[in-house]
Structure 1
Amino acid sequence: MQESDIEPALKNLFDNSSIALALASTDRDNPLVLANEQFYKLTGYDSTDVIGRNCRFLQRRSDGECASNDEARRKLHAFIHGDEANVRAPIVNFRRDGRPFVNLLFMSKLKASTGQVRYIIASQFDVSRTHPDLLRAYDDALGNTLARLKPLLDGHNVMVEGTLATIANSTTTIAQAKLALAELETNSPY
C-alpha cells in the first residue's frame, strides 16, 4: 500500500492535525503508510526514514540501546492480534538524535464495513515532562481528531472502532511512564 492509495480526506486530516499521527497498513508487519508533520517534529525523523517501516524502530536507539517496554509490548501485541478496538499505553521511544522520551501511544483499528481491519491509526504524545494541562489539551485534541475522522471514513466503508473512553487521562499510567524514563536516563550517556 502506498500513500497515493489513501483517501484524500484522510490525508487532509493528517496534514491539518495539531497532534502527532501515523497510519499503518495491516499488510505484513504493519508498515507506516502515512505520518504527519507533528509526528516528524516529535521524533526527529522524516518521511524517508519512517514510511514503509514498523514503528517499533522508535524503541531502539541507533547504538542499539533499547528500553524494556515489556508491559507496553504485551498490550500492543494483544491489541494487534486480538479483538480490542483501541489501546493506550506509555512506551519509551527514542528520537532520531538518540534522546529518549515517554510516548503515550494511542492506537485504534479502522475497519471496513465487512469487519476487515484496513488501517491502524496511532497518535503519539510526549509525556516525559508534560504539565497536566498540556495532557488534557492533547486528550481534547485527540478526541476532536477522532470525532472528525468518523465522518470522513463513513463514505469509504471504513469506521473507527471503539470508544473515546480509552483516551481518558490516567495518572497512574503517566507516573509509570515517567519512572521508566527516569530509569533509562540514569543509565544513559545522553
Structure 2
Amino acid sequence: MVHFLPDVDLPEGIRSLFEKSRASLTIADLDREDAPLIGLNQAFFDICGYSAEESLGKNCRFLQPETGGGPVCARIREFLYESDEPEERFAIPCVTGQEPARTDPRLRPEPRPERTAQRYDLGSAT
C-alpha cells in the first residue's frame, strides 16, 4: 500500500515507482515548512513499523532516537553539500516500531540544491 498526503499532486511515474518498489521509499517536500514526508510506500511501513497516520506530514527526524542521529548526520550533510562522490551509504540510528534500530540508506546528492531548484527529496533504504 502507498500513502500520500491528500493535497499532493505527484507525476504518475513517481506514484508508480512507490507502488512497485520493494525498497523502502519516502518523499519529502522541500517547499513546505520543515520538509515533511508527503509519500511513503509499503516497504517503509514494513521496515519501521509506523502507520501512515504516525508518519505522513512529519520531518523524517521523528525516526531518530531521542538522543538524535549522532555524528552520522554531520557526515550526511557534508556528503550532500560538499562531496563529489556519486553515492554513499550511511548506517543511521533510528526508532522502528518504538525500538532502536539502524537503517542503511543509499544517498545520491543529485540535484544539489545550490545547482538547481530542488523541490522533492527522495529517500530509500533496504
**Separation (CA, whole Å) in 2 of partners of 1:77 and 1:53:** 19
1:10 aligns with 2:14: yes
TM-score by length of 1: 0.53
Structure 2 SS opposite 1:24: strand
Aligned position for 1:93: 94
Residue 21 (structure 1) aligned with residue 22 (structure 2) = no
Q: How does 1:117-156 map to 2 (within 5 A)?
A: 117-125=118-126
Larger RCO (alpha carbons 8 Å, 6+ apart): 2
Bigger helix share: 1
Q: Which amino acid aligns with 1:55?
A: C
* Distance change in 2, residues 1:49/1:79 (3 Å): farther
Match of 2:47 among 42, 47, 61: 42
Q: Is the 8 A contact 2:90 2:105 kept in 1?
A: yes
Q: Which amino acid aligns with 2:125?
A: Q
TM-score, length basis structure 2: 0.76
Alpha-carbon contact 1:108-1:120 (below 8 Å) kept = no
Q: Which has the larger radius of gyration?
A: 1
The structure 1 segments of at least 4 consecutive aligned residues displaced by more than 6 Å after TM superposition are none
Q: Aligned pairs, how many? A: 116
Letter in 1 for 2:90: A
Contact 1:23 1:33 in 2 (8 A): yes
Give % identity.
25
1:106 shift after superposition: 2.1
CA positional deviation for 1:78? 3.0
Question: What root-mean-square deviation, in Å, do the aligned CA atoms of Structure 1 and Structure 2 show?
Answer: 2.5
Deviations 1:59-98 (A, max 9, x none): 12xxxx43x5322110233355x255754211111112x2
Is this contact kept in 2: 1:109–1:120, CA < 8 A? no
Residue equivalent to 1:105: 105
Q: For the Cα contact (< 8 Å) 1:20–1:36, is it kept in 2?
A: yes
Give matches, 1:43-58, under 5 Å: 43-58=48-63
In the alignment, residue 78 of structure 2 is paired with which amino acid? A
Contact kept, 8 Å, 2:69 with 2:94, in 1: the verdict is no
Unaligned runs of 5+ in 1: 126-190
Structure 2 CA distance for partners of 1:110 and 1:22, relative to 1, 3 Å: farther
- Distance in 1 separating the partners of 2:61 and 2:110: 20
Amino acid paired to 2:94: N
Q: Distance in 1 between matches of 2:109 and 2:61?
A: 17
